[in-house]
Amino acid sequence: MTTELSAATSAQRLADRYAALWTEPDAGARREAIERLWAEGGVHLLHPPVEAREAAVRVGFAEPVLEARGYEELEFRVARAHEEFVASGEFTFRARPDAVRLRDVVRFGWEMVTVADGEPVGGGEEFVVLDADGRITTDYQFPGL
């Protein structure tokens, strides 16, 4: 039982750190957090929004996937998301308290909420694969509540 509880606590800490990364205003601190969370060469795969998938299908792509690989691309991806969703001060991200770990995979939900009242306006599911050091090698993101 203790092992299960510590695994759940560890999974939730990872989820909380992950969500905090996307809200970090300082570029240097974001880069450090990326290097602590992801393994070198780690990849973030985003299941695109419906509009992007439909546009891709129209031009012949059956299953579009958005990908950021390595620290520089991850840093750019997180910075753009921060600029688009968080920098205005209207929204923030938080992990849901549902993280669970199964061997080297952690699954958790996240929400984009209004700063004013904490009301969810978006969110999704995350599946991350960890290396032996507990750093993310592959991050599968599925936006949508």
> What are the pLDDT digits (tens) for 35-81?
999 999 999 999 887 787 788 888 888 777 889 999 999 999 999 99
Secondary structure class of 62 (helix, strand, coil):
coil
The pTM score is 0.88
Burial degree of 19 (CB within 10 A; 0-12, 13-18, 19+): buried
Distance, CA of 43 to CA of 20 (rounded, Å): 18
